[in-house]
Amino acid sequence: LFGFNKKVSGLNFKPIEPSDVDDVIVPKGYKYEVVAAYEDVINKAGDTFGFNSDFTQYFPINGSSNHGLLWVNHEYSSDIFVHGAPDANGKYSAKQIEKMLYVQGGSIIEVKGDKKGGWKLVSDSTIARRVSGLTPFDVTGPARGSKTMAGATTVQGTFANCSGGKTLWNTVLSAEENYEDTCEAAGLNENHYGWIVEIDPFDPNFKVRKHTALGRFHHENAAMGLTKDGHVAVYMGDDVKDACVYKFVSKDKYVESAGRANSKLLEEGTLYVANMKKGQWVPMTLETVQAAIKGKADLEAKYQTQADVLVYADEASLLIGGTPTDRPEDVEISPFDKTIFIAHTNNDKHGNFHGHITRFIEDNNDLGSLTFDFEIFAAGGKQSGFSAPDNLTFDSNANLWTVTDISSSSLNKGIHKHFKNNGLFVIPTVAYKNVREEEVGEAYQFASGPIESEMTGPCFTPDETTLFLAVQHPGEGSKDAKNPTSMWPHRKGDTMPRPGVIAITGF
């Protein structure tokens, strides 16, 4: 119906021009509608949709591409639009903190499409629910109950949920990224945040959990695949300037028939960091770290157990030869050849203002390989037409769908003026079907976001007739709640912009 998976590949549209309009712009023949926005009631119990929607993941109900659960990350709150500013001493009230924690985390919403490509939120759903900064989480893996975790086996809540991924056993992984501000405001232990968390959208009785074996840093995402010998591999970026790219490989093998019991695989294994100069995945074990810090008393005191290595993974990785990179954001595994695409969004410390997309080629195209090579697949800038690549997703023709995250303060000025508002681009990664060789690596703009927003979390339904996409922080630069710079989604009677999730369909 909509052509995403027609024989003309992902290029079955006429690219749009950059736009500075306060709306989502899509190509001719396509349309969008808002599925859910901040504060919409999502279930019979009266729970409401969180703020600043990010990663989305569609889970079909009975295999349907017209009825499913949609997981949506909620990354951060806002003084101006959610709970007001702190007092003169910089302190938030208990009520403000409760709201700050509630609007972050994730929403599980029930969504239904009609045959004409219209999508609706089931607002009286009995299966929709919230997971938030107030939800108790179990802790798994080597850091569970450790001294560096203050002995914790359960912790309060998840927040700062940026991107994520889907497991092979139909649960969602959500990545805790910039957790510091909320920890500080709410007086929470910082070592309890910065993890990959797992949730089963279908089962409220599945204990939501934080997997410490995957390390603690400013997690952007978690892209899961299988090694040639059947172990689970998870690729992850640490979205910080001069930070590393990671891979976790499970100790045990994936057993398809075991279903959700495979969650155990994320509790034991080896975390590796990429040394891009040597093309090596360096294991982050207590042994490798202790060998690297021998004779340095302060570091020897810090890294005494594997839990210490995992809790301070971002520092340990640099000690053992991990390569600092330009803010590794989303990572995706190509469905075509298992090469790994990494959005390096930018790094003003090194004059990389437009960012690039890096491609790792694992030796033998095996996700379990401990050696790899790499290339810069596409570079941001005026020629390519995009800047600051962030979330990525593939369609089944190996076209890479890339959203951009030019910061609100840089938008529409200086070297960023050509790009106008943040957008969504399609970049073919392989000449396949009707994609010509010269189109590979070229970016074609498919959508443009409202003023001072970024679009996040692109996710296709299985039949690729609908693309879900989040619109995050429209009007973020507003100084005055009564006079916001954006009013998206322009709902009747509304007085403020609302982050939300849209469904894009076409004819």
* Alpha carbon distance 92, 405 (integer Å): 29
Window 217 to 246, contacts with ligand FEO (CB under 6 A): 220, 239
Q: Are 296 and 316 in contact (CB under 8 A)?
A: no
Say which residue the tokens 């591409």 belong to. 65
Q: Are 209 and 137 in contact (CB under 8 A)?
A: yes
Candidate residues 47, 238, 314, 329; the one interacting with ligand FEO per rule CB under 6 A: 329
70 contacts which partner out of ligand FEO, Ca ion, none, CB within 5 to 8 A by kind?
Answer: none
Q: Are 309 and 292 in contact (CB under 8 A)?
A: no
Element (H, E) at 272: strand 269-275
200 contacts which partner out of ligand FEO, Ca ion, none, CB within 5 to 8 A by kind?
Answer: none
Dihedral sign, CA of 430, 165, 144, 141?
negative
Choose between 329 and 332: whose C-beta lies nearer to ligand FEO. 329
The reply on whether position 177 binds ligand FEO by CB under 6 A is yes
452 contacts which partner out of ligand FEO, Ca ion, none, CB within 5 to 8 A by kind?
Answer: none
| Closest C-alpha among 116, 157, 168, 151 to residue 134 | 157
Residues 415-450, buried b or exposed e (16+ Cβ, 10 A)? ebeebbbbbbbbbbbbeebebeeebbbbbbbbbbbb
Q: Are 258 and 168 in contact (CB under 8 A)?
A: no
23 contacts which partner out of Ca ion, ligand FEO, none, CB within 5 to 8 A by kind?
Answer: none
238 contacts which partner out of Ca ion, ligand FEO, none, CB within 5 to 8 A by kind?
Answer: none
177 contacts which partner out of Ca ion, ligand FEO, none, CB within 5 to 8 A by kind?
Answer: ligand FEO
Neighbours of 72 (CB within 10 A): 30
Choose between 83 and 344: whose C-beta lies nearer to Ca ion. 344
Choose between 129 and 416: whose C-beta lies nearer to Ca ion. 416
198 contacts which partner out of Ca ion, ligand FEO, none, CB within 5 to 8 A by kind?
Answer: none
Candidate residues 101, 162, 451, 459; the one interacting with ligand FEO per rule CB under 6 A: 162
75 contacts which partner out of ligand FEO, Ca ion, none, CB within 5 to 8 A by kind?
Answer: ligand FEO
The reply on whether position 332 binds ligand FEO by CB under 6 A is no
* Alpha carbon distance 117, 506 (integer Å): 8
Choose between 175 and 232: whose C-beta lies nearer to ligand FEO. 175
Give min distance, CB of 328 to ligand FEO, in A: 9
Window 59 to 98, contacts with ligand FEO (CB under 6 A): 75
* Alpha carbon distance 198, 254 (integer Å): 17
Choose between 4 and 51: whose C-beta lies nearer to ligand FEO. 51
Question: Closest residue (Cβ) to Ca ion?
Answer: 405
Give min distance, CB of 333 to Ca ion, in A: 10
Choose between 53 and 317: whose C-beta lies nearer to Ca ion. 53
Count interface residues toward ligand FEO (CB under 6 A).
Answer: 6
Give min distance, CB of 284 to ligand FEO, in A: 21
* Alpha carbon distance 257, 499 (integer Å): 39
Give min distance, CB of 329 to ligand FEO, in A: 5
Q: Are 276 and 375 in contact (CB under 8 A)?
A: no
Interface ranges with Ca ion (CB under 5 A) = 162, 329-330, 390, 392-393, 405
158 contacts which partner out of ligand FEO, Ca ion, none, CB within 5 to 8 A by kind?
Answer: none
Torsion angle (degrees, nearest 10) of CA 275, 280, 285, 289: -40
Give min distance, CB of 163 to ligand FEO, in A: 7
What residues does 172 pair with on adjacent strands?
166, 199
| Closest C-alpha among 304, 301, 345 to residue 326 | 345
Residues that bind ligand FEO (CB under 6 A): 75, 162, 177, 220, 239, 329
